[in-house]
Every structure is written in structure tokens, then in C-alpha cells.
Amino acid sequence: MTVAILIIFSLVYLGMILGGLPFLQLDRTGVALLGAISLIGIGAISPEAAVQALHLPTLILLFAFMVLSAQLRLGGFYAAVTHRLTTLPIEPPLLLGVLILVVAALSAVFSNDIVCLAVAPVLIDTCRRRGLDPMPYLLALACAANIGSAATLIGNPQNMLIGATLRLSFSGYAMEAITPVLLGLLVTWGIITGQTRGRWMAPLVTTGVAPVRRADDVSAFNRWQTTKGLTVAGALLGVFLFTSWPHEAAALVGAGILLTSRQLHSRQMLGLVDWELLVLFIGLFVVNHALQHTGLVAEAVGIMAAAGVPLEQPELLFGATVLLSNLVSNVPAVMLLLPVATHPLAGLILALASTLAGNLLLVGSIANLIVADAALRQGLRLDWRMHARVGIPVTLATLIITAGYFGWRLAR
């Protein structure tokens, strides 16, 4: 049975690397779900044990903040903020800086993927109306959303998983993460500004196809719905910062309040929940639990430690997180490395390294792909080469800054 579990685990993580499996119409979510089904089907894990393998606090937190972001998206909050921001009467380099700060702040609270999904179409429209090339701003959107989401334990899915599993302090984490995040945002502005070299109105790189707009790209601004969503978000931040109430319980109550609406139908709200991401988490929880139950993971960690590669050490954990995040994506990487996250700084290392590594390549982060897809639907081409020219130096610079910060923390 151990051999069968190892084969299924290997196939699942091959799917994580490739984004699917050859000759099958499966993406990462489908591969993870099929792996979990296979393990239950061969009796490697019982349905009851599979349910127990799920980390409910993480799943609940993810779901609740998806509902919160759906509320703000349907209320037109993101579109209104983006439109007001991009119509400010300021010079393009300063506009880029303000965009980076605003996107990072929104991503730290409302999840980077949702922010990119809601902001990108409006950003393209308003840049065109001002005669600006949208591309530097789209690249800034993707990079800033990833970097900004690292600032809190609710900014992205992997941080939610890390915070809920290791029971990290919300305020304590934010105080540690804010320095490398702010420095990373500053470096991002410098890199994109330097590469643009004043050509803010350069000819656009287009796909030659007519722009296509989805019905939910831009929602009309609704003051009441936006106020309702922001009030719940503010209350949740207060709970996280100043009370001991379990985060997932508080977030679930907040989601329940938002679903109780006379104007927004629950079908609309739940239709914007990323169910595929939740299923991906469920599948990976089951697959990883089955492998850990064999004892192979503990044995492998012991062998590596005996060979002089103790992954529990901060430096090695940092390197392994960066490598695995670009190999299998950040969420699967974090799930693999959580068992060795025993150092006091392990949670911070996992969260920052896995998130910042997502800027390296276009496929390294869902937020990157969302921005590229939004550009394509508006007749723009943001390919992997164009992204890499910004993503690679931004990633290297932010990781060097973060490594230096950890070196300073460990030396204290």
C-alpha cells in the first residue's frame, strides 16, 4: 500500500509541476481531487480519515474571505478605487507608485487574486483613456499584489494555511513582515520605472483581436454594499488584532452577515467564490496526509538531517521554500514543508518566501495569470517573456531583501 500511496503522491505533484497531466483534461485542481479519490478508492485512506485530514480552520477562513471579497466586488468598490486612482492628475511615475501602494494594501486584506481580478479591467480602460501604455501598470499590479499579500496572514491562501496551522499571531506576523514588504514595494517601483525609461506612452503590444468584456468585469458603485463590506472587514481586523476569538469563527460570522442581504442574491455572492481553490486544498490535504501517515516524510527528513541538510534550519527552509514554490506552486510547497516548520521564524519564512517567489515567472502565481488573462481579453499580450523582464529582477531583489532581514533577525 505504501508503494501505491507514493505513486499517487508523485503523480499528483507531477501535475502540480506541469499544471495538469499529459493526455488528460485536468488542471491542478482536477489532479489533486483525482489523487484524493484514488487514495480513498484503493483503501489507502478511509472516507472518515480523509475528512479528518482536512484543516477546517484554513478552509473556513478561505471561504469567508472569498465571500467578503465578492461583496466588495459586487458593490463596485474595487472598480471605484481603481478609477479614482488612475484618474489622479499626477505624472505617470508617481501614479505607478500610488498604484503599487494601494494594490498592496488591498491585497493584504482582501486577497491578491481577487484584487487583480477586479482591478485589471478598470486599470486597462483608464490607462487607455489617459493615453498611457497599460503594460507597466499591469506588471506593477501583479507584482504589488503578490508582495502586498505577504504582509498579513489573510493576504493569500498559503498565508491563511500557515497562520491557521501554526497558530501565528496576526499582529506579530504583520509587524515582522511589514519591513521586507515595504522595501520590496519600493524596489518594484524602481525596477519598473527604470525599465520603462520614460516611455509611458509607448505603442501597445496587442494581440490583434477585439477586446472582450465579461459581464462581471465592472460593477456599478453601490455605497451601501461597499460600506457594509468594509465595515465587516474592519470588524474582522479588529477581532484578529485585539481578541482571542478564533479567526475562522469570526470570519465565518462575517460571511454570514454579508450573505444576509435584501439586494445581493446569495447566488451572486457564492458564484464569485473560488470553489476550485477550495477543492484544490481539500485534495492536497488528503494526499499529503496519506503520505505522512506512511512515515516516509519523517524518514526522508531524518536522512537529510543526517546528511547535513536539516530543513528545520531557517536558511535551508528559506531556500527549499523558494525552490519548491516555483516547482510545484506555493500552496503545495507550503503543505509539503509545514511538517518541518519548527523554528520560531518558520512561519514567517514560509509565508514570505513562498509568496515573493510567485513573482519569478508568469505561472508562479494565480494573480499573474489573472492579470495576463485580463490583458488578453482587452486585446493586449502579456506573455511570459514580458513578465520575466520584470518578474525575475523583482523576485531576486525582494528575496535578497527578505534574506537580509532574516539574517539580521537571527543575529539579534
Q: What is the pLDDT of residues 314-363, one digit of tens each?
A: 999 999 999 988 887 788 889 889 989 999 999 999 999 999 998 998 87
pLDDT at 15: 86
Where residue 395 falls among pLDDT bands split at 50, 70, 90?
very high
Q: Which tens digit of pLDDT belongs to each residue from 144-164?
A: 999 999 999 999 989 999 999
Does 206 or 172 have the greater pLDDT score? 172
Give how far Cα 121 sits from Cα of 64, 69, 114, 165, 215, Å: 25, 17, 12, 35, 11
Quote the CA–CA distance of 264 and 242 in Å, as a whole number.
Answer: 31
CA-based angle 8:14:18, to the nearest 5?
145
Tally DSSP H helices, then E strands, for the chain.
Answer: 20, 0
Where residue 111 falls among pLDDT bands split at 50, 70, 90?
confident
Burial class from Cβ neighbours inside 10 Å (0-12, 13-18, 19+) for residue 339 reads middle
Q: What is the mean pLDDT of residues 92-118?
A: 92
Where residue 214 falls among pLDDT bands split at 50, 70, 90?
low
- Cα torsion 49, 55, 59, 61 to 10°: value is 150
Quote the CA–CA distance of 195 and 197 in Å, as a whole number.
Answer: 5
Q: What percent of the chain has pLDDT over 90?
A: 52
Which of 52-56, 145-149, 201-205, 380-384 is least confident? 201-205
pLDDT at 154: 92
Residue 92 has pLDDT above 90, yes or no: yes
CA-based angle 15:154:347, to the nearest 5?
75
> Bridge-partner residues for 206, per DSSP?
380
Which of these, 67, 66, 16, lies nearest to 256 by C-alpha position? 67
Asked if residues 362 and 384 have their Cβ atoms less than 8 Å apart, the reply is yes
Quote the CA–CA distance of 370 and 291 in Å, as a whole number.
Answer: 32
Where residue 202 falls among pLDDT bands split at 50, 70, 90?
low
Where residue 216 falls among pLDDT bands split at 50, 70, 90?
low
Residue 412 has pLDDT above 80, yes or no: no
Mean pLDDT (the chain) is: 89
Where residue 217 falls among pLDDT bands split at 50, 70, 90?
low
Q: Directed axis angle between helix 346-356 and helix 134-149, to 10°?
A: 170
CA-based angle 231:233:239, to the nearest 5?
105
Asked if residues 218 and 121 have their Cβ atoms less than 8 Å apart, the reply is yes
Q: Phi, psi (5° rounding) for residue 43? A: 80, 10
Quote the CA–CA distance of 231 and 371 in Å, as a whole number.
Answer: 28
Q: Which tens digit of pLDDT belongs to each residue from 230-280?
A: 999 999 999 998 988 999 999 999 999 999 988 888 888 899 888 988 998
Q: Which tens digit of pLDDT belongs to each residue from 280-298?
A: 889 999 998 898 888 877 7
Where residue 203 falls among pLDDT bands split at 50, 70, 90?
low
Quote the CA–CA distance of 180 and 305 in Å, as a whole number.
Answer: 29
Q: What is the mean pLDDT of residues 64-76?
A: 91
Q: What is the mean pLDDT of residues 179-189?
A: 97
